[in-house]
Amino acid sequence: MLRYTLKRFFWALVTIWAIITLTFIIMHSIPGNPFAKEGSMPKAVYDNLQHHYNLDKPKIVQYGLYLKSLIHLDFGPSMKSQSITVNDYIKNGFPVSLHLGLQAMVIAICFGLIFGVIASLNKNRWPDYLSMILAIVGISVPSFILATFLINYFAVKWPIFPVATWTSWSHTVLPSLSLATMPMAYIARLMRSSMIEVLSQDYILTAQAKGLGRSVVIIKHAIRNAILPVVTVLGILIANIVTGSFIIENIFGIPGMGEMFVRGISNRDYPVILGSTVFYSVILILLIFIVDVAYTWIDPRIKVTGESK
């Protein structure tokens, strides 16, 4: 287990390094720089800014200096807001984005599993058809379209929930639903297919023949095995929620890291873009690793197989 963990840790570091390198190359290959829009800036001031942020140095030197600062967990200063650093942006924005992402993920997992189980237990009946119609709609409609629809009906026409701020629980409802609908629909479809397959297995029939109650068979035997494919895709779904939150945060005016990232791109703020990319990459890789480890808890056979090898 230790060897497997160290191997995964090594490849995680390689992946993060590759992401940093590719993002750095892409950002610096685009013509111009963060101060190109300042047309009325005197040349002396422009040259001083270039020197202050090391933009006058060769790209390989800039790359080395950035890697050195990352080792000390310093993402550098913002080039557009000199009074604040990228670390400050992350410190202020990440708790908001984390709250939104976790709330959306809880909604997606809970309701996705419930709808999937209900559909599988009522195969080819109206609960099954209704659940799958809702799932297809959830997958087909982009989150920003759904967000606009929710704002129009539940904040404008019927002022039930507020928007454009982040001060109370009611402000989190609409953005969380907008972000959770797509992964919830995907989980429901996947859980339905997996449950239908598991319910036809011999060990389920054996458990029923032993006289176990229907609820015990479904919860203890069927769901535990049927949920494995859902766990497999959780890493991808979490990535979709993270990247989707960039758009949702801007639509709802949420002061999270998504807003910071979009503003950094529009301003060509290299440290903000690189810092956001590196930070999110570390979070996503860590979550994918946790998902892999969760396999051994859900299905002990995987752990036994690994030990035998």
Give the model's confidence band at 304: pLDDT under 50 very low, under 70 low, under 90 confident, else very high: very low
Please check the confidence at residue 193 and state whether its pLDDT lies above 80.
Answer: yes
pLDDT of residue 115: 92
Q: Are 248 and 147 in contact (CB under 8 A)?
A: yes
pLDDT of residue 36: 63
Confidence of residue 309 (pLDDT cuts 50, 70, 90): very low
Pairwise pLDDT comparison (146 vs 6), residue with the higher score: 146
9 versus 137: the higher-pLDDT residue is 137
Which residues are CB-contacts of 104 (< 8 A; sequence separation ≥ 6)? 175, 176, 177, 179, 180, 183, 241, 245
Residue holding tokens 């685009």? 30
Whether this model's pTM surpasses 0.75: yes
C-alpha 264/C-alpha 27 separation (Å) is 11
Q: Which residue has the higher pLDDT, 111 or 234?
A: 111
Q: What is the mean pLDDT of residues 88-113?
A: 89
Find out whether 119 and 132 touch, Cβ atoms under 8 Å: yes
Least confident segment among 41-45, 51-55, 229-233: 41-45
Which pLDDT score is estimated for 190? 92
Residue 169 has a pLDDT of 87
The stretch 142-151 carries a mean pLDDT of 89
The per-residue pLDDT for 53 is 77
pLDDT at 117: 92
Q: What share of the chain in percent tops pLDDT 70?
A: 87
**Is residue 21 a contact partner of residue 70, using CB atoms and an 8 Å limit?**
no
Mean pLDDT, rounded, for 166-188: 90
Long-range contacts (CB closer than 8 Å, 24 or more residues apart) made by 148-153: 148/251, 150/174, 150/177, 150/178, 151/251, 151/252
Q: How far apart are CA 134 and CA 70, in angstroms?
A: 45
Query: From CA 178, how far away is CA 161, in angstroms rounded?
Result: 13
Three-state DSSP at 35 gives coil
Q: Say whether pLDDT at 305 is over 50.
A: no
Give me the mean pLDDT over the 163-176 stretch.
86
* pLDDT bucket at 274, cuts 50 / 70 / 90: confident
What per-residue confidence (pLDDT) applies to 278?
A: 85
pLDDT, residue 295, reads 62
Average pLDDT over residues 83-100: 86
**Torsion over CA: 123, 129, 130, 132 (sign):** positive
More confident residue, 252 or 246: 252
More confident call, 275 vs 32: 275
In angstroms, the CA 95 to CA 260 distance is 13
pLDDT, mean of residues 124-143: 88
Q: Which pLDDT score, from 0 to 100, does residue 39 have?
A: 55
pLDDT of residue 59: 87
Q: What is the mean pLDDT of the chain?
A: 82
The pLDDT value recorded for residue 176 is 92
Residue 308 has pLDDT above 50, yes or no: no
